[in-house]
Amino acid sequence: MRKKVTVVGCGMVGGTTAQRLAERGYADIVMVDVVEDLARGKALDLAEAAPIVGYDCRITGGTVPQDYAMTAGSDVVVFTSGAPRKPGMSRDDLLLVNQKIVEDNVREIARHSPDCVLLMVNNPLDAMAQLAYKTSGFPRQRVVGQAGVLDTARFRTFLAQELNVSVESVNAYVLGGHGDDMVPLTSYTTVGGVPVSKLLPHDRLEAIVERTRKGGQEIVDLLKTGSAFQAPSAAVAQMVDAVILDKKQILPCAAYLDGEYGIADLFCGVPVKLGAAGVEEIVQIDLSAEEQAALQRTASSVRELVKKMGL
């Protein structure tokens, strides 16, 4: 039986994610959105591209909540639905707006696809993942948030541009919450196997770290309307690959921590082994005292948001 992936929310991130997944061809795609006929239109457009591009999966669309039945039995559900950021807004400003959206939709997702891996993408990311976990009743392994893959990609991009090297030569991790206090791990960052600290002066490296933290806002400010969607959708697709293909890939993701890294009962970005079962392992790496303190700070920020939602 073919795999099935549902994308909830068909704005720029959701629509582009559906395109990336369709072009992989390993699963049928269901697109749903609260805006009447939006998902149907985008699904039909994607389906009509198949003979040209060469993929051969089934792509359908519907309007929720009435069409949630068409998502039944999904292996992965990608949740992108929510209010977008606008210039001057932080990710955290979206908290209460998106809380009800997540609660209403995740109940339907859990009812129709009780065995799926739920991949959260909307902001504020870590808090929304926590909310989805509590609302769905799923085991911790089957709720995961996309943040670290995107933030790490931005960090790698900026470093590659600075050093005029291929992005493939840059290896890095960005941990912590998907906010302004995220934690790029410079001690684990290498370029062609060489520690980045040997290639860049401290002030330039710190400037790149700060640009990474503000990476989403930089794009929001440039676009004026809307926010990033190309890199976020690519990050989502990489995570879906890991689940659908059971790759057991080590990726930085927002996962529920139960004492790991000294953090309990909270979603936070850490390295995980991602496979068919979802988060199959929290990968614990040694952090410096400074990095551990920074991770605790970002976790405290996430916990404050969770408290505001009454969880």
Mapped onto helix, strand or coil, the DSSP state of residue 149 is helix
Dihedral of alpha carbons 58, 61, 64, 69, sign: negative
User: Does residue 202 have an active-site annotation?
Assistant: no
- Choose, from 85, 91, 142, 178, the residue flagged as catalytic: 178
* Catalytic positions, written as ranges: 178
